[in-house]
Amino acid sequence: MHQSGILKYIAEATGKLKPGEPLEEEMPLIFALGHAWEEYAVSFYPEIDWQPGEITVDSISMNCDGLTPDPAWAPEGTPLGLEEFKFTFKAVPSEFLTDDRFWIWQHQARGYCHGYGPRCCRWHVLHVHEAGFKKFWPTYRQYIVKFSDKEIEQTWSLLQKYKTRAEPEHV
């Protein structure tokens, strides 16, 4: 089972996604643009261990985009940072942590933190629309979030709870 499929199932079951609504990364052209963005952006950060490889923990597989040892951008005492790259048509949020459009990203990062060990994530996000879908203005934003052990364990418990319920087409 892959973490992304379980999270999509949970998002549909809880109404954060409409049933059958595709994620942006499931659309081939958006996936390609996202991959191009990731390759371009990571080239500016030679300290990132890019695509460190898939791991499986408790029968859940995952692949983070990158890991940074002793990240200068993280709170003091953070020995390892998680790096995620996103290309999205979602507008720049007024509050990243509480915006439901980024619920999957938050839980994805928490799951990666459980598996890979970091407690802090830096997202490199290219928003295609600054102010919603009416205005095209690509905007690069970084969001840095330090997760508590409790938040990470809550997400991992959620993934464990739903992994057996997730439909085969989701995973």
Residue ranges per structural domain of the chain: 3-170
In this predicted structure, what is the pLDDT of residue 170?
Answer: 47
Token pair listed for 56: 């499986």
User: What is the second-level CATH architecture of the domain 3-170?
Assistant: Alpha-Beta Complex (3.90)
Q: What Cα–Cα distance (Å) separates residue 170 from each residue in 14, 30, 60, 67, 162? A: 15, 19, 13, 26, 12
* Cα 78 from Cα 73, distance rounded (Å): 9
pLDDT tens-digit map of 119-134: 999 999 999 876 655 6
Count of H-run helices and E-run strands, the chain: 4, 7
Q: Which residues does residue 24 pair with via DSSP β-bridges, in sequence order?
A: none
pLDDT tens-digit map of 27-63: 788 889 999 999 999 999 999 999 999 999 999 999 9
